[in-house]
Chain A
Amino acid sequence: MNKTLALLVAFAHKINHQHIQLALVLISLTMLVLGAGAPADTGGTGR
């Protein structure tokens, strides 16, 4: 249990500000391009 906790803590220390910023930027831009774009592909026609 303590070992798992120690591993989690070590992992958390490796996640720095830049990783969080990159994740936020990627999520925001993914939402932006999916929301703003309107391409039509072969998947799902009609409602």
Chain B
Amino acid sequence: MILLIALIAGLIVGWALSHWRGHIYQPPELRSEWLAFSAFLPQFTILYLPYFRARASDRVSVICLMASLLIFLGFAWVNRRMPGMRILLLGLALNFTVMAANGGFMPISPQTAGQLVPGEVLMDFQPGDRFGVKDIYLTPQETRFDWLADRFLLPGWISYKVAFSLGDVFIAIGAFYILAQPGLFHIKREVFPHDHVTNIS
């Protein structure tokens, strides 16, 4: 949700800046989009579809999640020349590192988890239990690369409660910039015959 907000904000800013500068918003050109589809499919199936989520073992979930992140790394690497993608790639690498070092899931400490769910719900959790979609409930002492775990929270005056990692911050900045930058720098491109686009450089 929080990452989607960054994406939508980037699109709005990019579109508004293009409009303000008097040219049509030109979306960035990604390469090998099929990699993103193939990376998302196993993760979506195992983590987001309740039928498979309930039946898949943690081991299968970890294999799908790690394979998915590796393919996403490949996709981001292929598109690394796109402005903003290197920031996103850094965030992805940080998340991959901390998840791989902690059994394949993103660690979250009892202190941070306590800010998201009521205390009585948290009492049912033991270290090593799954928490949320991609997280694992671990004490800071049991966590490798604790500083890369889900440990940041939104300010208290925001009712939406979410914990996020340093990697998530880079991913959000990168995603925002990828969609906002066409409004900042207008690149002259070849115009297709059926496009009624006027390029103003």
Interface residues of A (CB under 8 A from B): 16-18, 21-22, 24-47
Query: A36 — nearest CB in chain B belongs to which residue?
Result: B92
B108 and A40: CB pair below 8 A? yes
Q: Is the interface of A mostly helix, strand, loop or mixed?
A: helix
- Please pick, from A17, A26, A41, A46, the residue contacting B116 in the complex, using a CB distance under 8 A: A41
> In which size bucket is the chain B interface?
35 or more
A-B contact pairs, 9 of them (CB 8 A): A16-B192, A17-B194, A29-B175, A37-B95, A37-B167, A40-B131, A40-B134, A40-B162, A42-B162
Q: How far is the CB of A38 from chain B (nearest CB, A)?
A: 4
Q: How far is the CB of A44 from chain B (nearest CB, A)?
A: 6
Query: B179 — nearest CB in chain A belongs to which residue?
Result: A29
- Please pick, from A35, A39, A41, the residue contacting B72 in the complex, using a CB distance under 8 A: A35
A31 and B37: CB pair below 8 A? yes
A32 and B27: CB pair below 8 A? no
The 8 lowest CB-CB distance pairs between A and B, nearest first, are: A31-B40, A38-B106, A39-B164, A22-B27, A33-B3, A40-B132, A41-B162, A28-B36
Q: Indicate whether A45 sits within 8 Å of B162 (C-beta atoms), given known contacts A40-B106, A40-B108.
A: no
